[in-house]
Amino acid sequence: MTSITPFLWFDNNVPEAVAFYKSVFPNAKVEVVNDFMATFELEGQRFNALNGGPKYRFNEAVSFFISVETQEEVDYFWSRLTDGGEESQCGWLKDRFGLSWQVIPKTLGRCLSDPDRTRANRAMQAMLKMRKIVIADLEAAFNG
């Protein structure tokens, strides 16, 4: 069976990165981890990782999208992944390894895809002012 697996190039910290992700994601599974490479799974998504050295760095052209239901989940992933990392805008962040993530509540998609474009636009304008997505503020803007 054909499969597609993200392959992550780290500087020289694969074991540290895998341990960090395992601590963040409750359903993480580690198949192999050593000083050179790793194979692991986060919430059902398989990853390969390599200690490739400093030649290449992660950037925002690729990010991993975490779809959540509640503000509690937004807050959990946001605080864990920004620990040693940095916040960006509109639900985006970089973790301590420079990998980009989006922590997005399903409410955002529902609001932005609403057929009432006035309501959807209010939600979009509210989201554009946020770093971490705050569901209550998004819904308040959406509802006018």
Superfamily of domain 58-144: 2,3-Dihydroxybiphenyl 1,2-Dioxygenase, domain 1 (3.10.180.10)
Write out the chain's pLDDT in tens, 144 residues: 899 999 999 999 999 999 999 999 999 999 999 999 999 999 999 999 999 999 999 999 999 999 999 999 999 999 999 999 999 999 999 999 999 999 999 999 999 999 999 999 999 999 999 999 999 999 999 999
Q: Where in the chain is the domain with CATH 3.10.180.10?
A: 1-56, 58-144
The token duo for 134 is 């705050």
- Distance, C-alpha 16 to centroid of its chain: 18
CATH topology assigned to domain 1-56: 2,3-Dihydroxybiphenyl 1,2-Dioxygenase; domain 1 (3.10.180)
d(CA 22, CA 29): 7
